[in-house]
Amino acid sequence: MTEASSPTPVDPAAIDYSGRTCLITGGAGFIGSHLAEELLGRGARVVVLDDLSTGQLANLERAQTFRTFRFIEAGVGEYEDLEQLISDADEVYHLAAAVGVDYVVRYPIETVTRNIFPTERVLELAAQHDRPLFLASSSEVYGRGSASRMRESDDMVLGAPDKTRYIYALTKLVDEYLALAYHRQRGLRVVIGRFFNVVGPRQTGRYGMVIPRFVTQALRGGPITVHDDGNQIRCFMHVRDAVAAIIGLMNNPAAFGQIVNIGSDTAITIRQLAERVREATGNHVRIEHIPYEAAYGSGFEDVRCRIPGLDRLRTLVKLGELRDLDSILRDVVQYERSRLAGSDEPDAELPVAER
Ligand SMILES: NC(=O)c1ccc[n+]([C@@H]2O[C@H](COP(=O)([O-])OP(=O)(O)OC[C@H]3O[C@@H](n4cnc5c(N)ncnc54)[C@H](O)[C@@H]3O)[C@@H](O)[C@H]2O)c1
């Protein structure tokens, strides 16, 4: 499809999943667990395959109340019955991956082993059994970023290999190339979603995600630690809107063979975000700026500005009005408050460098 041809956008709210079986890899994680609940609520049988490396069973508490839900604890690369799972499913959502700037900088080897071979295995089996596939990619593939909106047809500008964060982008790019190759050569019905800062309850701050990290810091009495000058620009999308986008894409045949940005295009600086988090928690804590080096060691390079172009997504999916930052922060603050109330590990959510 070119940008010029315009398929009818699919309304995700109108999609019924009764009678369908969905396999979600990485479904005990943040986005996967919300997706699992949504699909179950719409009548699907859902199977989650997750090795709990960064995800957790607690995320699946609600999903587990459905009799149509099944959880398998195993790695996508190693699980022997993966072929059976894929052939038994009507569709597959491949979300399992090594995730988070902090994780990637600390564990570059695991980033490669988790993000390439398991994806290749899923692609091959989905192609063999002709199962539609959603593949989770990332805005990280755009690399250094630019002042303007990032569009799916843009060139990628990655930093040199000694800038550690780009290893994640590279693995996700390999996944994207592989997925498109399976689409072209083998007719695989695959849609690639490039997520831009999807946030909400259950996201952990442990691997460098900014909103849960700021909220946890504020709730614990501060300071909120902003990396560098805080003028980095980001856009945040509520996970429930991201799940709607995934559902819309998977139910629009025009999306197959496409790469599609999934995010919000309302921009904010990280310093402003810290201030909004402070307001949302009602705790008037200090905001402190720390150099990247203190957080991630030497050789770290940040992306200054990241705003998605959403034309392609809106052509394919009827998204409606997205939830705003106030609503996101309300949900995250409420979630973190109750999580912290039940936690006896006070610093478990902070990246190692900031404990
Ligand atoms: N949250 C975002 O803003 C964002 C941004 C860009 C891309 N993504 C992508 O979306 C997907 C989901 O991310 P998330 O934010 O929910 O992160 P997450 O860490 O909460 O979820 C990833 C899940 O995959 C599991 N996992 C990892 N490797 C596995 C393996 N080999 N076998 C089985 N399970 C495995 C983890 O235990 C975890 O539950 C990932 O592919 C990620 O790269 C997310």
Q: Is the CB of 171 under 6 A from ligand 1?
A: no
6 C-alpha to ligand 1 centroid (Å): 31
Taking residue 161's Cβ as centre, other Cβ atoms within 10 Å add up to 10
Distances (CA, A) of 219 to 90, 200, 214, 330: 43, 16, 9, 13
Q: Is the CB of 48 under 6 A from ligand 1?
A: no
Query: What span, in angstroms and rounded, lies between the C-alpha atoms of 179 and 124?
Result: 9
Model confidence, pTM: 0.94
pLDDT at residue 105, as a whole number: 86
Taking residue 43's Cβ as centre, other Cβ atoms within 10 Å add up to 13
pLDDT at residue 353, as a whole number: 34
- Going by the DSSP 8-state scheme, the letter that residue 305 receives in this structure is B
The tens place of each residue's pLDDT in the chain, 355 residues long, gives: 444 567 899 999 999 999 999 999 999 999 999 999 999 999 999 999 999 999 999 999 999 999 999 999 999 999 999 999 999 999 999 999 998 878 888 899 999 999 999 999 999 999 999 999 999 999 999 998 776 899 999 998 888 888 888 899 999 999 999 999 999 999 999 999 999 999 999 998 887 789 999 999 999 999 999 999 999 999 999 999 999 999 999 999 999 999 999 999 999 999 999 999 999 999 999 999 998 887 777 777 788 899 999 999 999 999 999 999 999 999 999 999 999 998 754 444 434 333 2
Query: What span, in angstroms and rounded, lies between the C-alpha atoms of 54 and 68?
Result: 24
Q: Which atom of ligand 1 is nearest to the CA of 33?
A: 16
Nearest Cα to Cα of residue 32 among 239, 238, 335: 239
190 C-alpha to ligand 1 centroid (Å): 18
Q: Say which of 168, 182, 207, 296 is annotated catalytic.
A: 168
Name which residue sits closest to atom 34 of ligand 1, judged by CA. 50
- Going by the DSSP 8-state scheme, the letter that residue 273 receives in this structure is H
Per-domain residue ranges of the chain = 12-198+237-262
Return the residue matching tokens 């063999």: 128
Which is it for the CA torsion 165, 166, 169, 170, positive or negative?
A: negative
Q: Annotated catalytic, 177?
A: no
Position 281: which residue type?
A: T
Local structure of 82: helix, strand or coil: helix
Q: Is the CB of 77 under 6 A from ligand 1?
A: yes
CA torsion angle 96 100 104 106 (round to 10) = -120
Distances (CA, A) of 170 to 26, 116, 173, 213, 303: 20, 10, 5, 25, 15
Q: Is the CB of 26 under 6 A from ligand 1?
A: yes
Q: Is the CB of 136 under 6 A from ligand 1?
A: yes
Cβ neighbourhood burial of 46 (10 Å; 0-12, 13-18, 19+)? buried
Query: What span, in angstroms and rounded, lies between the C-alpha atoms of 256 and 188?
Result: 8
CATH class, 12-198+237-262 region: alpha beta
Query: What span, in angstroms and rounded, lies between the C-alpha atoms of 122 and 118?
Result: 6
Query: What span, in angstroms and rounded, lies between the C-alpha atoms of 201 and 180?
Result: 32
And the tokens for 318?
């009827």
- Going by the DSSP 8-state scheme, the letter that residue 228 receives in this structure is T
pLDDT at residue 147, as a whole number: 65
Q: Which atom of ligand 1 is nearest to the CA of 207?
A: 19
What are the residues whose beta carbons fall under 8 Å from the beta carbon of 246, sequence distance 6 or more? 35, 93, 134, 193, 262
And the tokens for 201?
């309850």
Q: How many residues does the chain have?
A: 355
